[in-house]
Structure 1
Amino acid sequence: MNSDLEKGSTISDDEINTGHPIDSKKGPGQVTIKENVPPPVYNYKDDPDNPLSWPRRRKVGNLSIVLSICFMSYFSSTIYVPASHDIMMYFNTNLMIINATFSLFLLMNGIAPLFWAPLSERIGRRWVYIGAMTIYTLCTILCGISNSIGMFFAFRILQGAFACVGQALGSGSVSDMFEAHERGKAMSYYVLSLILGPPVASIAGGYIDEYLGWQWIFYIKTIMGGLLTVISYFFLGETLYRPYQNKLPPPSNLQDRLKRLKFNPLSTFKLFKHPDIVLVCLPVGIAFGCFYFFVAILPATFGPLYHFNPGKVGLCFIAGGLGNALGSIVAGRTSDKYCLHAAKRNNGVAVKEYRLRLMYFAVPFVLFGPIMYGWFLHFKLPWIAPLIAFTLSSFGSMFTVTIATTYLVDANLQTAASAVSVNNFSRSLFAMLFSLTASELRSVLGDGWT
C-alpha cells in the first residue's frame, strides 16, 4: 500500500484500514494516492466523426466521387490512342514520338503518387484531390490548344502527374471508410474504376476523333475535369481520421504551415525493403504491362489487318473492358468470402496472406491469353478470335491487380495510400516499358512471337 501512496486523490485512515471507501470530508489523518484509472477503450462505432461509422449513404456518395476521379486516370491515358495517326500528321512527327507521350504519361502515373500519398497522410485526402484535379483541368485544355509537339509533349506529361491522384489515394480512401469484411468488394470497385478507363476512353476517342477532331478529345476531358473539381469542392468529405493522434493547434504563420507540409516522397520506396510487397508488385507489374502492350499495338494491328477505321478500332477495346470488369468483380466478390472461409478453418484466426492464394487462379489467363492473341493474329483468324484472347488476358490481369491491391491495403492499414502507390509505381513502370517497346517488337518479331 505504501508504494501506492503519492499525490493524487485523497482517502481517509479508515479507508486504508478497512479497504472500503468512506464518504467523509477532507480533514486530518488523510493521505493522497494516485489512482490507476484505465483509459477508455476506443470504439469507432461510438464516434460519428470516424468515416468507418458514417451512414451508408454518405459512404456511397463519397466513394462515388473518389471512383470518378480514379476513372479519369487511365481514361486520360488512352483516349487519344485511336487518334494517334491524326495527331502524328497534325504535328508532322512520327508514331514513335506519339507513343512516347503515351508511355511517359504512364511513367508519371507511377512517379507522382509517391508525392500524393505521403502528402495526403499529412494534410488529408480532400485537398489533395481538389488541388490535383484543378491543375489537371488546366493542363488538359493546354494540350488541346497546343500548336507544337513540344508544347503538347510537356503538358501531356504534366497532365499525367495530376491525373493519377485518384489511383494514388483511392485505396486509402477505401480503407478509411470500409471495414475488412467489406473492403474487398469496395476495393474491387476502386480497381474497376481504374481499369474501365482504357476501353471506355478508346471507344470514345475513336468516334470523337472521327466526327469532331482530335482536339475535342481534350476539350471534353477539360469539361469532365472541371465538373469533378467543383463536385469535389462542395461534396467530397475528408476521410483521413486518426482519433489517437493529438490535434495540433492551427499554424500561427506561413513558416509553421510549410514546416508541417515537409515530407520525403522517396521514403515511400522504403516499403520495397519488405519482401512481401516486392513479391506482390512484381506479378502485378507484369500483368499490367501485358494489358498496356495490347492497348499500344491494337490500333496498328486491327486497322491494317481487318481494315477497321478509328471508330471500329475503339470498339475493339470493349473486349479488354469486359475482361477487366469481370476480373475485378469476380476477384472482389470471391476474395472476401474465401478469407472468411479460410479463417473459420483456422479456428477463427484471419491471416492476411490467405487472400493471395487466389492469385494462382489467374496464372493461366495471364500466361495463355497473350500467346493466343499473338498467334491468332499471325494466322489471320477472324477478328473475334484475338479479341476473345484479349478478354481472357484482361480478366487474368485485373483479377491479379484487385487481389494484390486489397492485400496491400489489409497489410498496411496505417500507410495504405503509400503501399498502393509503390504498387502503382511498379505497374506503371512495366506499363511504360511494355507500351514503349510494343511497336518495335512487333515490327521485328511479328505478331506471334511478340
Structure 2
Amino acid sequence: MSLSVINDTDRSHSTSSTQSVKSEIDHTDPASKPQSQLQPQSPSDNAPCQFSAFYRWFILFIIALQGFLGPLSSSIYIPAIYRVKKDFNVSTTGINATISIYIYILGVAPMIWAVISERHSRRRVYIISTAMYVVSTLGCAASKSIGLFVTMRIFQAAGASAAQAVGAGTIIDLFQVHDRGKAMGLFFLGPLVGPVIGPIAGGYISQYFHWRDIFWSLAAVGGFVLLLMICFLPETGTRSVKIDESAIKAMLRPLSFLLEKIVVLASIPYAIAFGFMYFVIASLSHELITRYHFTSSQVGLAYLANGTGNAIGAMVSGKCADWILRRNSDQRSYVIEHRLSVTWLGVVLLCAGELMYGWCVQLQLSVVAVLAGLFLLGLGVGIIQTPSNTYVMDAYEGHAASAMSASNLMRCTWAGCTPLMAPFMLHRMGNGWSLTVIASVSALSGICIFLVQHFGHRWRNAKCHPLP
C-alpha cells in the first residue's frame, strides 16, 4: 500500500517535472517561429501596453528620435561631401566609401543591439548606444585625418542604429496587433524625417559655416535625445530568451533569420527600394549642380521632395495596412498577410518615380519634373516600408528585434552597394537607361510580395522554421 503510494507520488512528480520542462520549452520556442495567427493579447495591469495612450505614444516619440539620428547623420553630410573631400584631399570614390561604410554599419550593428535587448534590457541598449553616438560624433567634428574620421563614423553609425531593430520590440511591447501598422508608420517618421531635414540643414551649414559644424550640431541633438531617454524612457521589454543560452548562440540568432523564407521574401522589396533610393540620393547633388547649377543650400532643399514623399508614404500605408487587416480578419485572430496588399501601390509609384526622375534629368527637362519624380520615388519607398516591416515584426513577435535586424541588414547591405554603383552606371549608361534598369528590378520585386501573400500563411501554419 505504502509502496503504491510512493510510486504514484514519484509518477506524479515525474509528470509534473516533465510538464514543467515542456511548459518552459513551449514558452520559449514558439517565439522564435512564425506565428500562424495573431490573437489579441490579454495583458496584465502593469504591462507596457496598459500604459496610458499619451505615455505610450510619448515613449514611441523618444524611440523615433533615436531612429532619426542614423538617417539624419547620413543625409546631413551629403551636401557637404565635396568640402570634406577637399579638406581631406581624397578621391571621389574614397569619399563615397564613407557613405557606404556608414550604411553597412547601420545594417550590421542592430544585430548586436537586438540580441542584447532580448537578453537583458531595451532601455540599457538605447542609453548606451545613444551615448556612443554622441561621443563618436564629437570625434568626427574634431578629426584631423580621413582615417580618424572614418573610424569615428563607424562608431557613430553603430550608436545611431539601435532603434532600427530594438524599436520593433518596443512597439510589440506597447501596442496591440491591430494598432501596430499605425505605430510603425509613426515610428518611421523619425528615420524618414532625417533624410528630409538632413540635406537642408547640411546644405545651409556647409554653405554659410564649416562642414565640421554639422557634426557639432549633431552631437547637440544626440545629447538632447540621450537626456530624454535617461529621464523618461522606462524598461518595456521582458527577456524573450533563456538567460543561460550561450552568448555565441544568441549572437547567431539574427543571422539565422536570413534563412527564413518569410523574412527574406518580405524584406527584399523594401531592401531594393531603399537601396535604389540611395543610388539616386548619392548622385543627386552632382546632377543638380552640374546640370541645373544649384547651390549647396538649393541642393539641400531638393532633397525635401524625396523625404516628404517618404514620410507621407510611411504614415498613410501604416494606417491603410491596419484598416485592411481589420477588414479582412475576425475579432479572434488576424491573418497578417493582408497587410501587404498596400505595398503593390508602392511598387507602382516607385517604378514611376524612378523612370520620371531618370529621363527628366537625362533630357534636362524642367527641374519641377525632376523633383516630382523624386517625390513619387520617395512616396513609393515609404508605402513599401511600413507594411513589410510590420509584417516581419508580427510574424516573429517573440524575437521581433532579431528578425528586424536581419531585415535591416539586407536593406543596408544593398543601400551600401548602390552609391558605389552609381558613378559607373551613370557614366556608362546615363541617367535615363540606368534608372530604367533600376525600375525594372523594382518591378520584379513584386514577385516576392505575391509569394508571401499567397504562401506566407501556409508557411507560418506549418511552423517549419525552428530557430535557435
Q: TM-score, normalised by structure 2?
A: 0.82
Measure the CA separation in 2 of the matches of 1:315 and 1:46: 46
Give the drift of 1:217. Answer: 0.3
* 1:278-322 deviation per Cα after TM superposition (whole angstroms, max 9, x unaligned): 111111110111111111011000011111111000000110111
Correspondence for 2:338 = 354
1:228-239 pair list within 5 angstroms: 228-239=225-236
Measure the CA separation in 2 of the matches of 1:46 and 1:410: 17
Letter in 2 for 1:304: T
Letter in 1 for 2:150: F
1:109-258 pair list within 5 angstroms: 109-241=106-238
* 1:222-265 deviation per Cα after TM superposition (whole angstroms, max 9, x unaligned): 111112112211211111036x999x8xxxxxxx9xx9866542
Bigger shift: residues 365-374 or 121-130: 365-374
Correspondence for 1:291 = 277
Q: Given the superposition, is the C-alpha separation of residues 46 and 79 from structure 1 closer, same or farther in structure 2, using an over 3 Å criterion?
A: closer
Letter in 2 for 1:343: S
Letter in 1 for 2:99: F
Measure the CA separation in 1 of the matches of 2:152 and 2:95: 13
Letter in 2 for 1:273: L
* 1:64-93 deviation per Cα after TM superposition (whole angstroms, max 9, x unaligned): 111110111111111110001111111111
Correspondence for 1:433 = 417
Measure the CA separation in 2 of the matches of 1:284 and 1:220: 31
Correspondence for 2:380 = 396
Measure the CA separation in 2 of the matches of 1:181 and 1:368: 31
Contact 1:66 1:170 in 2 (8 A): yes
Contact 2:41 2:176 in 1 (8 A): no
Letter in 1 for 2:322: D
Give the drift of 1:364. Answer: 1.2
Of 352, 363, 378, which residue of structure 1 is paired with 2:362?
Answer: 378
Correspondence for 1:29 = none
Measure the CA separation in 2 of the matches of 1:229 and 1:343: 40
Higher helix share: 2
Measure the CA separation in 1 of the matches of 2:101 and 2:58: 33
SS at match of 1:196: helix
Give the drift of 1:218. Answer: 0.3
SS at match of 1:381: coil
Contact 1:45 1:52 in 2 (8 A): no
Contact 1:70 1:167 in 2 (8 A): yes
* 1:148-180 deviation per Cα after TM superposition (whole angstroms, max 9, x unaligned): 111111111221111111212111111110001
Give the drift of 1:368. Answer: 2.2
Correspondence for 1:268 = 254
SS at match of 1:343: coil
Contact 1:174 1:187 in 2 (8 A): yes
1:54-65 pair list within 5 angstroms: 54-65=51-62
Give the drift of 1:147. Answer: 0.7
Give the drift of 1:4. Answer: 10
Contact 1:44 1:52 in 2 (8 A): no
Letter in 2 for 1:322: T
Measure the CA separation in 2 of the matches of 1:191 and 1:389: 22
Measure the CA separation in 2 of the matches of 1:340 and 1:4: 55
Q: Given the superposition, is the C-alpha separation of residues 295 and 4 from structure 1 closer, same or farther in structure 2, using an over 3 Å criterion?
A: farther
Contact 1:363 1:396 in 2 (8 A): yes
Correspondence for 1:415 = 399
Structure 1: tracts of 5 or more residues without a match: 8-33, 249-255
* 1:92-132 deviation per Cα after TM superposition (whole angstroms, max 9, x unaligned): 11221111001110000000011010110011100001001
User: Larger RCO: Structure 1 or Structure 2 (Cα < 8 Å, ≥ 6 residues apart)?
Assistant: 2
Q: Does residue 72 in structure 1 map to residue 69 in structure 2?
A: yes
Q: How large is the RMSD of aligned CA atoms in angstroms?
A: 2.5
Letter in 1 for 2:371: L
1:37-48 pair list within 5 angstroms: 47-48=44-45
Letter in 1 for 2:231: F
Contact 1:296 1:439 in 2 (8 A): no
Letter in 2 for 1:423: S
Contact 1:51 1:241 in 2 (8 A): no
Letter in 2 for 1:447: N
Give the drift of 1:267. Answer: 2.2
Contact 1:339 1:350 in 2 (8 A): yes
Correspondence for 1:328 = 314
Q: Given the superposition, is the C-alpha separation of residues 168 and 349 from structure 1 closer, same or farther in structure 2, using an over 3 Å criterion?
A: closer
Identity over the aligned pairs, expressed in percent? 34
Contact 1:352 1:410 in 2 (8 A): yes
Q: Does residue 82 in structure 1 map to residue 66 in structure 2?
A: no
Q: Does residue 94 in structure 1 map to residue 91 in structure 2?
A: yes
Contact 1:81 1:296 in 2 (8 A): yes
SS at match of 2:366: coil
Contact 2:346 2:381 in 1 (8 A): yes
Q: Given the superposition, is the C-alpha separation of residues 306 and 260 from structure 1 closer, same or farther in structure 2, using an over 3 Å criterion?
A: same
Structure 2: tracts of 5 or more residues without a match: 10-15, 17-22, 24-39, 435-468
* 1:6-37 deviation per Cα after TM superposition (whole angstroms, max 9, x unaligned): 77xxxxxxxxxxxxxxxxxxxxxxxxxx9xxx
Contact 2:119 2:241 in 1 (8 A): no
